[in-house]
Structure 1
Amino acid sequence: MAQFFSYLSQQMLQLQTQGLSSSEIAPRVGLFARTVRQWLADGVNTSPRRRRPSPLDAYASYLRHRWEEGEQQGVHLYQELQEKGYTGSIRALYRYLDRWRPPPSEEDQPAPRKRRPRKTAPPPGPFDQCQAKQAVWLSIRSPDELKPEEQEQVAFIRQVPCP
Structure 2
Amino acid sequence: MQSARADRVREQHAAVHALLDEGLGLRPIARRLGLARNTVRRLTNAATADELLVGRWPGRTSILDPYKSYLHQRWTEGCTVARRLFEEVRERGYPGGESVVRRREAFPHDDPPRKAPSVRDVTSWITRRPDRFDDDQAQQLKQILTRCPALDRTAEHVRPIAELMNDRRCRELGQWIERVQADDVPALHGFVTGLGQDLDAVVAGLSLRYSSGAVEGHNNKIKMLKRQMFGRANFDLLRKRVLLAARGRS
Larger Rg: 1
**Higher helix fraction: Structure 1 or Structure 2?**
2
TM-score w.r.t. structure 1 length?
Answer: 0.31
